[in-house]
Amino acid sequence: MTSIKKPLVDKHLRKNRHGLTQRDYEGVASTLCAGCGHDSITAAFVRAFHELDLEPHRAAKVSGIGCSSKTTAYFLGQSSGINTVHGRMPSVATGAAAVNPDLHYIGVSGDGDSLSIGLGQFAHAIRRNLNMLYVIENNGVYGLTKGQFSASADIGTRAKYGEVNEQTPIDPVRLALTLGATFVARSFSGDKEQLVPLIKAGLMHRGFAVIDVVSPCVTFNDHAGSTKSYAHTYKYYHPVIHADFVPEEKEITADYADGEAITIPMHNGGDVILRKTDTSHDPRDRDAAFDLLKNLEGSEIPTGLIYIDESRPEMGEMNHLPDTPLNAINHSKLCPGSATLKQLMDGYA
Amino acid sequence: MGMKPTDTSDPEYFHKVVDCQHACPAHTPVPDYIRLIAQGRYTDAYMMNRRSNVFPGILGRVCDRPCEPACRRTRVEDEPVAICRLKRVAADHRDEVKHLMPEVMPPNGKKIALIGAGPASLTVANDLAPLGYDCTIFEALEKPGGLMISNIPSFRLPEKVLDDEIGYILDMGVKLKTGHRIDSMKAMLEEGYDAVFVGSGAPKGKDLDLPGREDAADNIHIGIEWLESVAFDHIEEIGKKVLIIGVGNTAMDCCRTSLRLGADSVKVMARKPRQFFKASPWELKDAEHENIEIIVNHSPKAFVTENGKLTGMTFEVMEYDVDERGKITGTRKTGEVTLPCDDVILAIGQDNAFPWIERDIGMEFDKWETPVVDKTTFESTRKGVFFGGDAAFGPLNIIWAVEHGHQAAISIHKHCMGEDVNDRLPRGVNLETAKMGPNEWSYSNDYDPDARSDMPEVDLAERFKELDIEVELGFTPEQIKTEVERCLNCDLQTVFSAPACTECDACIDICPVNCLTITANGDEADLRTRLSAPANNTDQALYVSEGLPNTARVMVKDEDLCLHCGLCAERCPTAAWDMQKSTIFLPHADDELAASVSRRAAE
């Protein structure tokens, strides 16, 4: 905790289309440790929402339990949100998205919340192609309970007090690809130039967008011997595909016109422009995504938009759910009365 | 390539970050004394002020306050901290300070003559008398103070305040000869003084030679002479309708004084539009608050007389074209008006005049007939003769005169000791961490959004009853409490250590004004466009670190809007950022003496 609240001095800040500054997208003061990667991801959410010109109340934040799940309080203070049961955030998000498809759903989870207790929920949210942005703040440890290894800890990584991990890690990126996720990305809390556009693209994606963000735990997993420290991540950090998000009304500039860039129109508006950095990877090719991850295994941390598919229907479409939120449908339509019920029942007679 | 890492051991770097102190000619450590006031340590705050500006009580009322337009708060929000009036708080609430004055050393056998008892000469005496110098001030008027007594009306600066602060200096054994006009420099030089300091001001008010000037002479007054006559009770009344020509600070004193001498309609006549006024905005405001009318775009043409008596003044009504940079590109006359009046006061500037300095004594004069004076040493081309205050480079203000005095005192000391006047002690900077514990600092780091306090004043009806009723009452205790917290503590510096940085971005995310960025190095113009917020204010420096350990990028801080809230340091997991108190060492004559004593001891 800082000793004071972040002072509100905003006369020099840029206002977006709604007359809001970045400060209007912040939440309460963070209680996480100084230097926590999660706080940087929080700042990236603030920036992305402000730059996307989305009004704060158009978002709904859902999270489970853990350091990462606390962070939904630290951004978009004017939007609705819920801290659910440990690992059960996808169920709550599913229900919310089913009754109100008008909001932008942001799920914030951690490697513990998603890959251990919540692994089943995570997997089925992907299968349903739930229309939400799902960010895993991945630090390889249970920070809130003093730094035990989580399911994403690499083999050979050392805990703060010397213990070495021998169990195989669950890689959320490969897991998501296997399960058929339609937007799979990895990033790093220390690189907002990469992370902010990914968040924007993820919010505009139709379906389940998962971003696995390496987010060092400054207290329990930022030492020599850790594979999720700042130093280790900077050393092996490898941006493969850079995704820029260009909003609908903005023209795509000539910078991208060199044939190296791929433009993908997003279902919810805008375009994602992909720039390859040093490989020939095409993020629309799922097999190639597996190969890319396999080839770099053990040496580098491939980041960027690994895979994207805008063509698959999301949960609402698959299940023929109404476009109108339930709270906007009038009562007589929602509850047509006993006569209608009788008529329906008579149909089965 | 790119920018070189900032050298924080260069005293100028952090000095410039403390905008108020940097803008003050005498470099008063403003945030330092404001913190003392916040702690109720008024006497300490007073003595700290006195060290640099010598006249805290006087300057706390009438300083031209170059510090306030420079205040960081004007960039962060709109209104600066009321620095000047907080100085008055220290003076108003101080305890007895006589025993805190510097101890006077035994006489060193050197005699100094000081001409004119204004702020420049008084400062020289203040700095040299304690070192054992035998100082004699010669003053033409009956009382010491120079323009502080003769030109600044007592309703702004009570005589008691002047007497106290001049008294501290005279009590150090300084001799004062009032009513003693020096009319020959040659004779002065023959009196055997080891050095002569000229602090005689710029005593010649400008006249306006227009038709009717001679006929109406009885009712046309030169502003500074008229104010002096009022101050010494030689003038006690003025006509009902008064026109003031000119719109500088002297004009403001003239119009407000006229109201107190019986005028009921006072107009200040300006040739140009308001943005070209020379008067300080607050002095204009104070005058307008007393229902003084300021009329723009009227250029004086003639004095109108009837039967040898002034009855009015004719003006040409002007129109100006002003370009976007604020320069006048065209001028037109659109008509003519005559305004009736009983008296006219001319406040259109003043000049230096040295009829009493002979031109054959080895002192060079320039084409404006003013002596050539060195900008650092304040020495004239004749060795041993020094100038300061308005006498040196024309009319400035009190706080400049004080700084001239400090610098001239150093030169006089070096001259008398047979040292090179150009070989002066350099400035220095000391940095000391402000960390008292986890997220605990030795200063109040929270940002206080309160607005600037308005100075309470005597009611309009009351204040005109006597000439010497001080208009401003000083801040109330509640106002002091709020105003001190408005100071951003710009001397609590953000100091960065690149090797400790893990590039976690915590500082960047928490910074309330987006002044931090980690990015690839580049030249300054390029870097300024690539920061978290564009650094458009090129008057403010960029603080650039060495290459960072993980990525070789650099940490860049735009000093422009930093609130010095310390959140970067609180959020930093490795204490790569620290808040450190910077103290700028600005040598005075006593420091020079101490340095030469220790030099001699070392030899």
Q: Are B371 and B354 in contact (CB under 8 A)?
A: yes
CA distance B576 to chain A (A): 11
Query: From the candidates A30, A71, A230, A237, which should be mutated to test the interface with B, based on the most B CB atoms within 10 A?
Result: A230
Please give the pLDDT value at position B412.
98
For residue B423, what are the CA distances in angstroms to B110, B130, B156, B413, B588? 20, 22, 40, 12, 13
Average pLDDT, chain B: 95
Residue A255 has pLDDT above 70, yes or no: no
C-alpha to C-alpha distance for B568 and B570, rounded to whole angstroms: 5
Q: Assign A279 a pLDDT band (cuts: 50, 70, 90).
A: low
Cβ <8 Å between B445 and A3: yes
Please give the pLDDT value at position A278.
60
Give first-to-last CA distance, chain A, whole Å. Answer: 65
Position with higher pLDDT, A276 vs A263 = A263
Nearest to B555 by CA among B574, B538, B583: B574
Query: From the candidates B504, B518, B530, B577, which should be mutated to test the interface with A, based on the most A CB atoms within 10 A?
Result: B504
The pair phi, psi for residue A205, each rounded to 5°, is -75, 145
Mean pLDDT of B458-470: 92
- The count of CB pairs under 8 A between chains A and B is 94
pLDDT tens-place string over residues A285-310: 999 999 989 888 877 899 999 999 99
Considering chain A, what percentage of its residues have pLDDT values greater than 70? 96
Cβ <8 Å between A189 and B505: yes
Considering chain B, what percentage of its residues have pLDDT values greater than 90? 94
H or E stretch at B61 = helix B56-62
Q: Which domains does chain B have, with CATH numbers?
A: 101-203+352-416 (3.50.50.60), 205-350 (3.50.50.60)
The pair phi, psi for residue A303, each rounded to 5°, is -130, 170
- Among candidates A3, A37, A190 on the partner chain, residue whose Cβ is nearest the Cβ of B570: A3
Cβ <8 Å between B573 and A35: yes
Cβ <8 Å between B567 and A4: yes
Mean pLDDT of A85-101: 96
pLDDT tens-place string over residues B11-24: 999 999 999 999 99
Q: Are B491 and B31 in contact (CB under 8 A)?
A: yes
Mean pLDDT of B398-404: 97
CA distance B219 to chain A (A): 52
Mean pLDDT of B83-88: 97
C-alpha to C-alpha distance for B249 and B226, rounded to whole angstroms: 14
What's the number of CA atoms in the CB half-sphere (13 Å) around residue A339?
2
pLDDT tens-place string over residues B585-594: 999 999 999 9
Mean pLDDT of A66-72: 96
Tokens of A107: 């799920």
Cβ <8 Å between A4 and B503: no
- Among candidates A1, A39, A235 on the partner chain, residue whose Cβ is nearest the Cβ of B509: A39
C-alpha to C-alpha distance for B339 and B210, rounded to whole angstroms: 15
pLDDT tens-place string over residues B324-355: 998 999 999 999 999 999 999 999 988 888 99
Cβ <8 Å between B504 and A189: yes
Q: Please list every residue in chain A whose beta carbon sits closer than 8 Å to the beta carbon of residue B502.
A: 35, 218, 222, 230-231
Q: Which domains does chain A have, with CATH numbers?
A: 22-326 (3.40.50.970)
Task: Inform me whether the C-beta atom of residue B82 falls under 8 Å from chain A C-beta atoms.
Answer: no
C-alpha to C-alpha distance for B309 and B239, rounded to whole angstroms: 12
Cβ <8 Å between A6 and B76: no
Please give the pLDDT value at position A257.
46
CA distance B441 to chain A (A): 9
C-alpha to C-alpha distance for B181 and B187, rounded to whole angstroms: 12
Q: Are A12 and A61 in contact (CB under 8 A)?
A: no
DSSP state of B103: P
For residue B576, what are the CA distances in angstroms to B248, B439, B503, B569, B572? 50, 14, 10, 7, 7
Give first-to-last CA distance, chain B, whole Å. Answer: 45
Considering chain B, what percentage of its residues have pLDDT values greater than 70? 100
- Cα torsion for B399, B403, B404, B409, to the nearest 10°? 140
Interface of A with B in 2-41 (CB under 8 A): 2-4, 6-9, 11-13, 33-37, 39-40
Task: Inform me whether the C-beta atom of residue B555 falls under 8 Å from chain A C-beta atoms.
Answer: no
Query: From the candidates A5, A8, A9, which should be mutated to test the interface with B, based on the most B CB atoms within 10 A?
Result: A9
Cβ <8 Å between A3 and B440: yes
Question: Rg for chain A (alpha carbons), in Å?
Answer: 21
C-alpha to C-alpha distance for A300 and A296, rounded to whole angstroms: 5
Cβ <8 Å between B514 and A235: no
Query: From the candidates B443, B488, B509, B511, which should be mutated to test the interface with A, based on the most A CB atoms within 10 A?
Result: B509
C-alpha to C-alpha distance for B205 and B551, rounded to whole angstroms: 65
Q: Which amino acid is at A37?
A: G
The pair phi, psi for residue A296, each rounded to 5°, is -95, 0
Largest CA distance in chain B: 90
Q: Give the number of other Cβ atoms within 10 Å of residue A97's Cβ.
A: 24
CA distance A96 to chain B (A): 31
Bridge partners of A61, per DSSP, are: A81, A106
Interface of B with A in 179-218 (CB under 8 A): none
pLDDT tens-place string over residues B533-591: 889 999 999 999 999 999 999 999 999 999 999 999 999 999 999 999 999 999 999 99
Full-model pTM: 0.91
Nearest to B83 by CA among B44, B159, B32: B32
pLDDT tens-place string over residues B134-143: 999 999 999 9
Nearest to B281 by CA among B125, B428, B64: B64
**ipTM for the assembly:** 0.90
Residue A260 has pLDDT above 70, yes or no: no
Mean pLDDT of A265-291: 82
Please give the pLDDT value at position A126.
97
In 3-state terms chain A splits into helix, strand, coil percentages (rounded to 5) of 35, 20, 45
Q: Please list every residue in chain B whose beta carbon sits closer than 8 Å to the beta carbon of residue A216.
A: 504
Task: Inform me whether the C-beta atom of residue B450 falls under 8 Å from chain A C-beta atoms.
Answer: no
